Amino acid sequence: MKPGRDSWFPGFLLKINCSQTLQTSSLMPIQGPTSYFPTTQAFLNHWADAEAAQGGTPILLDGQQVGTNVDAPVADLQGLFDDLGEARDTVESTALDIGLARAAVAQHRDWLHTQMGLFNDKMRSDHGRSIYAKNLELVPPANSGREAFMKPMRATSRLWQKVNDWLAGLGKPALTTLTPVTRADFENRVTVLRAALDMLEEREQQITLDLAARNAIQDKIYPFLKVYRLKIPTLFAEGSAILESLPDLTPAPGSTPSAPGLAGGWSVAHTRAEFTGTASATAEVTQHQLRGCAQENYDEAIEAVLSTVPVGQPLTLDSTYGLTEAGAIASFRLYAMTATGNEKGSAPVVVSRPL
């Protein structure tokens, strides 16, 4: 389990008996990527219970309906489930890598932005009548696009070298800014930022591939769950514990709860994001769940479950998810969830960790 994640998923992995399955599985029918993992686990648990109720006789699903060459045993679904666990961890890892890469880019941009301004100020104050001071680059906005930001930085580095050569010819020391920062320091940071931007672009491309791989596994799992729900009523009588505890595949009929509220931000004192939630007004809500994305724009395709709070418990929450480095930005939502599997999320809260 990754740092910052709660024990909700591992708790769900525990083997549960038939009566427990009825209560637990109804909480997580499939509504998106977040729910695929626990829902599949509920079906695996139920499949094992159903075979045990038949005295150990294997339950096989029609191969044509589930996309296999031969009738499929529970081991086939278990294999897909294991693959899904690895795939979702890969997606989360890449998403966190992207967040760290963005934080690194933000740090380097901020440093270069500041130093370029100091260089320009130094030139105007000390060498304002020189041709070099009259040909300074304008400092670009900190949030400029890659080339719009990098071009004046490269130009400033070249100009700084020309200024140093000119000063050397006059018998004067090389120009440094207040810190002091030398031209070599500045050029090195330009190189580092270029590498950080390349890494960010590579990671952003990679997560597209990771999501496609994860979604392909989910698409293979879905027919298993659908056919299994069709199979069980042909094997067990109405009213039996196995049939009554059959996991839901989609939310049961019921209204979507009202959205909960979420407010908060970065705590400098505690070095974490801190939130206060407002419970959903819907009486049928059984729990609230904090989820997060390691980026500014909230995306349900990569959201991670961070903590789950039973209804009635205080909604005082905190997290460092996606915020382990200065300059990092993450977004969070609080979800209200009912026993029928219906859920509704709050408006996203974007948290920036100061540089």
User: What are the pLDDT digits (tens) for 97-113?
Assistant: 999 999 999 999 999 99
Predicted confidence band of residue 17 (pLDDT cuts 50, 70, 90): very low
The domain that holds 304 is classified in CATH as: 2.60.40.10
The pLDDT of residue 15 is above 60: no
Containing structural domain, residue 267: 252-355
- Asked if the structure places residue 119 within a domain, the reply is no
Residue 340 falls inside a structural domain: yes
The whole-angstrom separation of Cα 222 and Cα 212 is: 15
Closest CA relative to residue 263, chosen from 275, 248, 249 = 275
Helix (H, G, I), strand (E, B) or coil at 266: strand
Query: Residue 9 pLDDT more than 60?
Result: no
Q: State residue 255's pLDDT score.
A: 80
What's the average model confidence in pLDDT over 32-60? 93
> What pLDDT, on a 0 to 100 scale, did the predictor assign at position 26?
36
Distance CA 156, CA 187 (A): 9
Lowest mean pLDDT across 126-135, 243-252, 288-297: 243-252
Question: What would the pLDDT profile of 198-214 be if each residue is shown by its tens digit?
Answer: 999 999 999 999 999 99
Residue 114, H or E segment: helix 74-127
Domain total for the chain? 1
- Give the C-alpha separation, 49 to 41, whole Å: 12
Query: pLDDT band at residue 235, thresholds of 50, 70 and 90?
Result: very high
Length of the chain: 355
304 lies in some domain? yes
More confident residue, 214 or 7: 214
Task: For residue 131, tell me if it sits in a domain.
Answer: no
Q: How much is the average pLDDT of 67-74?
A: 94
Q: How far apart are CA 176 and CA 320, in angstroms?
A: 38
The answer to whether residue 281 is domain-embedded is yes
Is the CB of residue 107 less than 8 Å from the CB of residue 355?
yes
CA angle 36, 41, 44 (to 5 degrees): 125
Output the six-digit token pair for 144: 């400029």
Q: Is there a domain that residue 239 lies in? A: no
Query: Is residue 106 included in any domain, yes or no?
Result: no
Whole-number average pLDDT of the chain: 90
Has residue 254 got a pLDDT over 80? no
What pLDDT, on the 0 to 100 scale, is given for residue 14? 29
Distance of alpha carbon 303 from alpha carbon 61, whole angstroms: 32
The token pair that represents 304 in the structure block: 């991670």
Determine whether 311 is exposed, middle or buried from the number of CB atoms within 10 Å of its CB (0-12, 13-18, 19+).
middle
Q: Is 240 a member of any domain?
A: no
Give SS3 for 261: strand
| pLDDT given at position 179 | 84
